[in-house]
Chain A
Amino acid sequence: MSAKIKIFALLLVVISAASTTLFTQEEPPPITIRPTPSEEVILAVADVQPLNAARSGELSEAIRVFNQVLWDDLAFSGFFTLAGKSFYPPEPIVRPEDVRYEAWATLPWSVSFLTAGTLDISGGILKAELRLFDMKARTPMPGLRISGEKDQIRSMAHRWADEIVYRLTAGASRGVAMTKIAFTSRRGNAKEIHVMDYDGYNSRAFTHNNAINLFPGWAPDNSKLSFVSYRTGKPEINVYSYIDGSRVAFPMFNSFASTPAISPSGTEIAFSLRTPRGDSDLFVSKLDGSGRRNISNHPAADFAPTWSPSGRQIAFASGRETRPGHNQIYICDADGSNVRRIVKEGGDADSPAWSPDGRWIAFHWKPYRSSKYDIFIAEAASGQIRQLTSGAGSNEVPTWAPDGRHIAFQSNRTGSWQIYIMLLDGTELRMITRQGNNTSPAWSGYFRQVSEN
């Protein structure tokens, strides 16, 4: 793998010598994911406790799950250094007055904040009372009560994790623990769209048509999913309501239509469609298919559009300049003008995904003849790139979490195709699917907050 990195680095040097507009000799642009040491926030995550010891047996499984999910969510956020639980003072924290600040002050690290809380059950409804403590000021902060059905315990923990991220970043970031990932899962000859929690739990089939379904994508408000389906025999663009599962009318072309992407405004859709010339071009239409216009109009195959967050630009893949079968990433204005290639390397690039902050375009790339891709990000303005994955297997189809700090992708590093999530700096890498083959991850936007009181 390191050989590959070297090859790529060498390419960069060669290209930058030839072209001064992109790939200067400078270091790749920095990405700040982790807090700097001076900004480090040390967070202690005390186990939630049964509110009433009499119900501790009934609650033990829910408490175990809650504590595990909360820890994983907070670790994955990348904002905190989590203090190891084995160092915590042994007394359970049920009430605010159970926090002995002087005991916490003896830990090997200076803990900035502490989360603790209780769980109770009544009438089959779980009730969590969650607290946050400012350990520097030695004072409790406002708490949060969350209730839910027994099978919503994971969601309750996600909710609290997102609340902690929001509060401790002073609203600068929202956590992604409540988000979802859509993906395709092969079942025999069929490939159905599934949707799961961001951490791989609660996976549910969204399509049940026993056909091939490909390339899911979310409307920015999560109200719809677009994807390609063979349910009528040909690859067609399908748009479905994520809220009630109903089909949103969209024209059938009975030819070749692929890679749909709903615009940030939610009113337009970009997709690839075969032209009479026999190749596929990029088209943009209203969400009902009306007002369709060809924005690429080029004899090479143009596909995989992704909208900039402003909706003013589209990035896409095309083989128009490279040798046959190899593609590169291009950016154009939403009307198709001002086409420019963002990565000057040869090789093969595909699956561009524009970051939520508009700064980056993630994509997968491989050298000529290689069968193994890796994930890269290119700065849209400068074209400067960073490599995000390396190591065994092919890493493909990046998709951004709505916080712009995390990506999901597919990899066959274990021998089967599975979906992985990680922070942009490559840490907190997690394999979130395990059964069969799972591909084409598409990270949702934020959902509205639920079950708050």
Chain B
Amino acid sequence: MRRSPYLFSAAITVIIALLISASACKKKVQPTPPPAAVETRRPEAPPPAAPTISLTATPAAIEKGESSRLSWTSTNATGVTIDNGLGTVEPSGSREVSPSVSTTYMARASGPGGDAVAEARVTVTAPPSVTPPPLPAISDSEFFTSNIKDIFFDYDQYTIREDARVTLMENARALKERPGIRILIEGHCDDRGSEKYNLALGDQRANAARDFLIGQGIEASRIDTVSYGEERPFCEVQDEECWQLNRRAHMTMR
């Protein structure tokens, strides 16, 4: 609320900019027919109306790490795009943005009647006075231990369960954060099947986890697999709790 004057002035700026740019574009792309001709035009072929767009950022100034809401409204547009990574968006809407440096966002509305653009700037200031001490850099192996988790499988299955999908997506996100980390996925089984089959099943489990991570954008060259079948159990009690612990793809750092 403290920053409402900024909002006001930004809105004024945007509207002025919008009017100028909208008319400029209109001239460039679609010459206006002479007024006299309008009356003689047949009603089924009116000139395409020029698109309009407005874009605001609220608040217009943030501290680093905070976010601002971009809001836009367009008319007569068949497509609206916003740069700086937002891409194609709906005709009117809003998005939270959290730029790390001051950024000018440009929205472009396109339609049969031409293009219109509007800009809004989000000013990013450094955090206030007391800067927190820099986080201690954690090693790859510490990072791995706290961020990369094992996944578990159903009896005699190598399909990725819903809980495992969530885990693997988080693993993928963490692996993208640390592109230097390479992983070895170990496939493990409970000991109820026979040893020969379990070795093959463990391989299929490790491969299923690998394929999923590759699907999440992790380079295949960063992931290796090995099956241990039932040879390296995590738990050696004969009950379902223990069997479940042994049906897993275990993530290790290479």
Interface centre among B196, B204, B208, B226 (most CB of A within 10 A): B196
CB atoms of B194 and A351 under 8 A apart: yes
Q: How many Å from the CB of A316 to the closest CB on chain B?
A: 10
Partner of A280, one of B155, B192, B203: B203
Whether A364 is near chain B, meaning CB under 8 Å from some CB there, is: yes
- In the complex, A254→B194 CA distance in Å? 23
Q: How many Å from the CB of A294 to the closest CB on chain B?
A: 15
CB atoms of B194 and A350 under 8 A apart: yes
Partner of A317, one of B155, B156, B196: B196
**Which residues between 289 and 319 of chain A lie within 8 Å of chain B, taking CB atoms?**
301, 303-304, 317, 319
* Tally of chain B residues near chain A (CB < 8 A): 24
**Which residues between 218 and 275 of chain A lie within 8 Å of chain B, taking CB atoms?**
228, 233-235, 256, 258-259, 272, 274
Whether B58 is near chain A, meaning CB under 8 Å from some CB there, is: no
Q: How many Å from the CB of B183 to the closest CB on chain A?
A: 14
B199, closest chain A residue (CB): A258
Contacts of B192 in A (CB 8 A): 371
Q: How many Å from the CB of B35 to the closest CB on chain A?
A: 70
Q: What does the 1/0 interface line of B152-177 toward A look like (CB < 8 Å)?
A: 00011100000000000000000000
Contacts of B204 in A (CB 8 A): 278-279, 301
- In the complex, A233→B232 CA distance in Å? 13
- In the complex, A320→B199 CA distance in Å? 17
Contacts of A379 in B (CB 8 A): none
Whether B207 is near chain A, meaning CB under 8 Å from some CB there, is: yes
Q: How many Å from the CB of A42 to the closest CB on chain B?
A: 42
Dominant SS among interface residues on chain A: strand
**Which residues between 178 and 217 of chain A lie within 8 Å of chain B, taking CB atoms?**
189, 191, 212, 214-215
* Total inter-chain residue pairs, C-beta < 8 Å: 78
Given A233-B226, A256-B203, A278-B204: A301 and B156 interface contact (C-beta under 8 Å):
no
Contacts of A233 in B (CB 8 A): 226
Whether A324 is near chain B, meaning CB under 8 Å from some CB there, is: yes
Contacts of A364 in B (CB 8 A): 194
Q: How many Å from the CB of B173 to the closest CB on chain A?
A: 24
CB atoms of A191 and B200 under 8 A apart: no
Q: What does the 1/0 interface line of B207-248 toward A look like (CB < 8 Å)?
A: 110010000000000000111100110000010000000000
CB atoms of B231 and A301 under 8 A apart: no
**Which residues between 386 and 401 of chain A lie within 8 Å of chain B, taking CB atoms?**
396-397
Partner of B194, one of A212, A279, A301, A373: A373
CB atoms of B194 and A348 under 8 A apart: yes
Partner of A212, one of B200, B211, B228: B228
Whether A439 is near chain B, meaning CB under 8 Å from some CB there, is: yes
A234, closest chain B residue (CB): B226
CB atoms of B194 and A191 under 8 A apart: no
- In the complex, A228→B198 CA distance in Å? 14
- In the complex, A351→B196 CA distance in Å? 7
CB atoms of B155 and A325 under 8 A apart: yes
B155, closest chain A residue (CB): A325
- In the complex, A440→B200 CA distance in Å? 16
Partner of A191, one of B201, B207, B231: B231
Contacts of A326 in B (CB 8 A): 156
CB atoms of A301 and B201 under 8 A apart: yes
Whether B193 is near chain A, meaning CB under 8 Å from some CB there, is: yes
Partner of A324, one of B156, B199, B228: B156
Contacts of A259 in B (CB 8 A): 196
A280, closest chain B residue (CB): B200
27 A-B interface contacts by CB (under 8 A)? A214-B195, A214-B231, A235-B199, A256-B200, A258-B196, A274-B207, A278-B204, A278-B207, A278-B211, A279-B200, A279-B204, A280-B203, A301-B200, A301-B204, A303-B196, A304-B197, A325-B157, A325-B193, A325-B197, A325-B201, A348-B193, A348-B194, A350-B196, A364-B194, A373-B194, A396-B194, A397-B194
Which B residues are within 8 Å of any A CB, using their own CB? 155-157, 192-197, 199-201, 203-204, 207-208, 211, 225-228, 231-232, 238
7 closest A-B pairs by beta carbon, nearest first, are A325-B156, A350-B194, A301-B200, A256-B203, A371-B192, A278-B207, A304-B196
